[in-house]
Each structure stands twice: as C-alpha cells, then as structure tokens.
Amino acid sequence: MSPLAPISPWPPEEPAAPYPDLPLAKEVYGLLAVLLTYLAFAAYLIWAFAPSRWLDAVGWTWYPSREWAVIVPCWLMVVVLLTYWGYTALTALLTPGFDSRYIITDERSNIPIEGQGAEPYYWKFAEADAVPEVVDLPIDFVNRVLYPPRSRRRPRY
C-alpha cells in the first residue's frame, strides 16, 4: 500500500526489525565463552606437553613450572570430591532421625482436624461438582488402606 493512501491498513503492519540478521547478545557471549574455553584448553595442552625448546622458538618464554600441569587438575578433582562429600554430609546432618515426628508431618502439612466433622464449614458454599481441597493423608490412614489387617488363620490339627 502506498504511504500516500488515505486509508491505513488494519491491523497495522508490524515494523520490520532494524537488523534482522544480527544474533542476540546472549548468543554472541555464549560463542565467545565456548571459543575462549577451547583456546585456553589448547594453550594448557601445549604448555603441558610441548617441549620447552618449541615454546622458546615460538616466543613463549615465560610459563609456570610443568609441575602445575599435574597439580592443578588433581587439586580440582579433590575440590569436586570434597564438594560432593560435603553436600552428602550436609544432607545427612539435616535429615531428621527415624524417631522424629517431622518424618511423618511438618509445619506445612495440611491435615484435616478430626474435631471439625467430615467436611470443612466452607464446603456447604461450594458447588456439588467442586473439587475438594487438597489435604495430606495421615500416615495411619495410609497404612490401614495399604496394609489392611489380615485375619489370622488357625492351624488345623
């Protein structure tokens, strides 16, 4: 449609993106992070395995001792293992004991109170096909349903 037309299109057309072919900033930063990581790893491998005369010939005259090529990865592996063990120990420390009442229920449990009757007071205002409120089932009720009492059979003589 001509810009001189007296009628504008309805609905209005979306304006074109100023630079539709350019990538987003997150994509650029991600690509740079990946490329720099590969470059740093390649420099590490060259420093760790290339002979000193090759590095001197290229002009790379200052570099740390080759011991660090072994020490740093070993140290990082120990840090990772200690982190796993630390989180495992923290989980074991914060887990309640078997005799604790917090295994069965906690302060966020929604267990219906026995004294209030079969239904809460506000259910009388709900529609007939309304979905009831979600509640936690008491553990003794769950055990009675899952493991009903069995009648003991008397041995026949």
User: Domain check: are 50 and 69 in the same one?
Assistant: no
Determine the Cα–Cα distance for residues 43 and 35; give it in Å rounded to an integer. 12
Q: How many domains does the chain have?
A: 3
Length of the chain: 157
Determine the Cα–Cα distance for residues 31 and 4; give it in Å rounded to an integer. 45
| Residue pair 119/150 in contact by the 8 Å Cβ criterion | no
pLDDT in tens, 32-78: 999 999 999 999 999 999 998 998 898 888 888 889 999 999 999 99
pLDDT at 15 over 80: no
Does any domain span residue 154?
A: no
Q: Give, in order, the Cα–Cα distances in Å from 52 to each of 12, 47, 60.
A: 68, 8, 9
Does any domain span residue 3?
A: no
* Phi, psi (rounded to 5 degrees) for 146: -75, -35
pLDDT in tens, 112-145: 666 655 566 566 666 777 776 777 777 778 888 8
Does any domain span residue 155?
A: no
- Expressed as residue numbers, the domain containing 52 is 22-63
User: Domain check: are 88 and 73 in the same one?
Assistant: yes
Does any domain span residue 17?
A: no
